[in-house]
Amino acid sequence: MIEINDKRDCSGCTACASICPVKCIEMKSDEEGFVYPVVDKSRCINCGLCEKTCPIINRKADAKIEPRAYACINNNLAVRMNSSSGGVFSLLAENILQNDGVVFGASFDENFVVRHTFVEREEDLNKLRVSKYVQSDMGEMFKKAKEFLDADRKVLFTGTACQIAGLKSFLKRDYENLFTQDLICHGVPSPLVWKKYLELKGLEDCESISFRKKLENKKRGAFYAKFKNGEEYVKSPYPSEPMIRIFLLNKCLRLSCHACVFKTITRQSDVTLADFWGINSVLPEINDKKGVSLVLIQSEKGQKLFDEIKSEMTYKEVNFKHAIIHNKMYYKSALKNPVRTRFFRDLQNLPFKKVMGRYGWGLL
């Protein structure tokens, strides 16, 4: 049965809990706020499926075929302005929905907890747009995706590379009607830290929150919240926002993010999306400062989907190595900040305001 001896070896993808035939595995939060599988041994039938399904234990060899790389901009400016980078996620998703498909991705629930969910209508896509820099709660979404796939619906499943690897391990076989899209991922912050931050800032009953609000003349955008009374909280420049700062300085990431095994040359997903950092050295003429996506294509299916949406983009193929040289999170895990252990110890012992005072403003 699955046993986590070293927390770096579990990304919390939920594949083990989802596959268990007797439902004796529960994903439970630890003191840092990250979920890990806990087996009810009295009900376990020792079938071994959980271990056989774990995408880290059964790590796939890297295909080492260089993906094709593109710099892309969604021609719909309104959608792009409401996306983290070039708005390519929305084009992939619209294509699937227009073909009676279903799109899975990360959304905020009514309390701004980040959860995976699915949408079947284009008017609901806004829920999934824009990066939420918190580990999403996968819930039962692997099983739900399988139900749609078995019913012959097209499915676009989006998430971090570990979530896509978990889904693929859980499904066990290739589905013609499954499309997957992951992200170049810095790492995922703790949902507990995010919950405490919402409380500290009084953001739980906001109308909307955006981790990446695009504002005129602000290079990296802002952290933005709109309250029900119309008041706004806008924090820019971007890293001056304490929650963003502890994220970018690697103080509150999941331990497995510091040893990510999914940062391979060729990912398991059909398409990888990212911010095109370094666009000015690769293709300055495309950069209108409103966001450019780096799109990496790693399968025939991914190429077919890309070809279907390309008439709705301004795009250019670029050299893969030149494209990723400015985005080292493609191939490198985030370095653990030396204060990470102290941060989580203090999180348990001190008032949260004090913790953020110590770690959210200090520049370590």
Ligand X SMILES: Cc1cc2nc3c(=O)[nH]c(=O)nc-3n(C[C@H](O)[C@H](O)[C@H](O)COP(=O)(O)OP(=O)(O)OC[C@H]3O[C@@H](n4cnc5c(N)ncnc54)[C@H](O)[C@@H]3O)c2cc1C
Q: What residues line the site for ligand X (CB under 6 A)? A: 83-90, 105-106, 114, 128-134, 136, 158-160, 183-186, 188, 273-275, 277, 293, 327, 329
3-class DSSP assignment, residue 208: strand
Shortest separation between residue 108's beta carbon and ligand X, angstroms: 9
The least distance separating ligand X from the CB of residue 277, rounded to whole angstroms, comes to: 6
Of 49 and 89, which has the nearer Cβ to ligand X?
Answer: 89
Instruction: Give Dmax over CA atoms of the chain in angstroms.
Output: 63
Using the minimum distance from each CB to ligand X, give the nearer residue, 20 or 186: 186
- When the beta carbons of 114 and 192 are compared against ligand X, the nearer one is 114
User: Which CB atom, from 49 or from 82, has the smaller least distance to ligand X?
Assistant: 82
CB neighbours of residue 302 within 10 Å: 23
Q: Smallest gap, in angstroms, from Cβ of residue 112 to ligand X? A: 12
CB-based closest residue to ligand X:
105
**At closest approach, how far in Å is the CB of 354 from ligand X?**
26
Report the residue number, 111 or 348, with the smaller CB distance to ligand X.
111
String of DSSP letters for 338-357: TTHHHHHHHHHHS-HHHHHH
Full DSSP string of 174-206: --TTEEEEEE-----B-HHHHHHHHHHHT-TT-
Residue 24 CB, shortest distance to ligand X, in Å, is 27
Question: 3-class SS at 158?
Answer: strand
Q: Which residues contact 151 (CB under 8 A, 6 or more apart)?
A: none
Contacts of residue 38, Cβ cutoff 8 Å, sequence gap at least 6: 25, 26, 27, 28
How far is C-alpha 362 from the geometric centre of its chain's CA atoms?
Answer: 26
